[in-house]
Amino acid sequence: MAQRADGAATCRICAGAVEEFVDFGRQPVSDSFVTPERAGSEYYFRLAAGVCTACSMVQLTEEVPRTEMFHDDYPYRSSGSEVMRRHFTAVAESFLAGPLRKADPFVLEIGSNDGIMLRTVKDAGVRHLGVDPSIGAAKIAAEQGIRVSTEFFEEDTARRIAKDEGPADVVFSANTFSHIAYIDSIFRGIDALLAEDGVFVFEDRYLGDIVRRTLFDQIYDEHYYIFGVTSVRNMARHFGFELVDAEHLDVHGGSMRYTVMRPGRRPASERVAAALAEERTLGLEDPAVYRRFAATARTACADLRALLERLKAEGRTVAGYGATAKSSTVLNYAGIGPDLLPAVHDSTDAKQGRLTPGTHIPVRSPEEFRSAYPDYAVLFAWNHAAEIFAKEQGFRDAGGRWILYVPGVHIR
């Protein structure tokens, strides 16, 4: 944790003062789905977030060591969602038709996971490399013939790759760049690797959506930064780059795709100016806006717990759906364990048979959900609601009801 002499946190980017606005207390690593034998061995930290009063970057005030989060047993698999598979196929196709349409192009992806994006690049026969330290996920990519290097991307890695491969025309990163506290090292790496006219494109959950809709469970260990257009523009400048485009995306409950280049290559698009103006209207630089956000988050957690207690007292059955990293924040903060929620169902092989981090709720398959529907299901993967509602129409047909807790607790 970066600390100033007066004890306040300092910004990991500009060293400005960070004003803390929410504290979810002691929390385990959000993706540490443990085997029953290892229950209790989770790494804990204080999950709190603040906003930099100088550059407006929203960030955690405590950093979890990266090897506690990303390792051979990291269970997240990007390809579990059909919507996300289609999304990343389209991303790859846009690169192939755009910046990669040249002689011997090269694309590097930071956080390639199971190869969800690079699969399409590989099929097109284009030179590529994925970098991802999570060996279990990277293996799935490698088995499909995708080139992967299982390590953390940082300055040294980038210098070595630049030497071996030459400059990258595209550096892409989705839902990963925000996970990397040591972002200064990444920017130095991008500087060493990116072609003179290359693009660095990254997409991540968008601060504007998170604040507007109080998507508080997007705050967890892996999301060290929560990017907004204002803070990303400031960050890019701070590290000698320029934000040239910001495109809003519907995925993961609202995301933004940022395009960063070396300075003077391209003027910033209209979309950047429009997003900056909108962020001013939303008050994304105003600590009072974040304090209201925190109060709404606390109410949602208390309401969810109260609802589950009431349903239990009435003899209703309830299960969770989607053993997401996000759910760790809610479950641990609200103190919801197997007494209130006997199971969480999830399609990921690597999570089934494990227990949820800290709260130790068994993770079971969607088939088990279908074999004995509960009366209610809490949707923790609310960002995949349309896909899951369609897949689980049978639950609704059998009289089941979904419980959601963002922006507040409601039943659908």
Positions in the binding site for ligand SAM (CB under 6 A): 70, 74, 76, 78, 110-111, 113, 116, 131-134, 137, 152-153, 174-176, 179-180
70 interface partner picked from Zn ion, ligand SAM, ligand TMP, none, CB below 5 to 8 A per type: ligand SAM
**Would you say 71 or 160 has its CB closer to ligand TMP?**
71
Write the DSSP assignment of 289-317 as a string of letters.
HHHHHHHHHHHHHHHHHHHHHHHHHTT--
**Distance in angstroms (rounded) separating the CA atoms of residues 194 and 52:** 28
**Segment holding 223, helix H or strand E:** none
Best CA proximity match to 94, nearest among 257, 306, 228: 257
Beta-carbon contacts of residue 275 (< 8 Å; ≥ 6 apart): 208, 229, 246, 248, 256
Best CA proximity match to 175, nearest among 55, 255, 59: 255
**Is 326:218 a contact under the CB 8 Å cutoff?**
yes
Question: Residue 266 class from Cβ within 10 Å (0-12 exposed, 13-18 middle, 19+ buried)?
Answer: middle
**Segment holding 235, helix H or strand E:** helix 229-238
11 interface partner picked from Zn ion, ligand SAM, ligand TMP, none, CB below 5 to 8 A per type: Zn ion
Distances (CA, A) of 106 to 93, 127, 163, 171, 190: 14, 5, 13, 9, 14
231 interface partner picked from Zn ion, ligand SAM, ligand TMP, none, CB below 5 to 8 A per type: none
**Would you say 354 or 384 has its CB closer to ligand TMP?**
384
| Inter-residue long-range contacts of 36-40, CB under 8 Å, 24+ positions, other chains counted | 36/355, 39/355, 39/360
**Would you say 286 or 368 has its CB closer to ligand TMP?**
368
**Would you say 14 or 135 has its CB closer to Zn ion?**
14
**Would you say 154 or 222 has its CB closer to ligand TMP?**
222
The residue behind tokens 């011997």 is 104
218 interface partner picked from Zn ion, ligand SAM, ligand TMP, none, CB below 5 to 8 A per type: none
Please report how close the Cβ of residue 18 comes to Zn ion at its closest, in angstroms. 7
Taking the alpha carbons at both ends of the chain, their separation in whole angstroms is 41
Proportion of the chain in helix, strand, coil states, percent, rounded to 5: 40, 25, 40
List, in sequence order, every beta strand (DSSP E) within 157-288. 168-174, 194-205, 225-226, 242-249, 255-261
**Would you say 109 or 279 has its CB closer to ligand SAM?**
109
133 interface partner picked from ligand TMP, ligand SAM, Zn ion, none, CB below 5 to 8 A per type: ligand SAM
194 interface partner picked from Zn ion, ligand SAM, ligand TMP, none, CB below 5 to 8 A per type: none
**Would you say 230 or 324 has its CB closer to Zn ion?**
230
The site for ligand TMP (CB under 6 A) is made up of: 80-81, 322-325, 346-348, 351, 366, 381, 383-384, 387-388, 391
Q: x/- string (CB under 5 A) for Zn ion, residues 47-66?
A: -----x-xx-x---------
Site residues for Zn ion, 9-48, by CB under 5 A, read 11, 13-14, 16
Is residue 287 near Zn ion by the rule CB under 5 A? no
Please report how close the Cβ of residue 154 comes to ligand SAM at its closest, in angstroms. 6
**Would you say 148 or 244 has its CB closer to ligand SAM?**
148
64 interface partner picked from Zn ion, ligand SAM, ligand TMP, none, CB below 5 to 8 A per type: none
**Distance in angstroms (rounded) separating the CA atoms of residues 380 and 23:** 20
- Applying CB under 5 A, which residues contact Zn ion? 11, 13-14, 16, 52, 54-55, 57
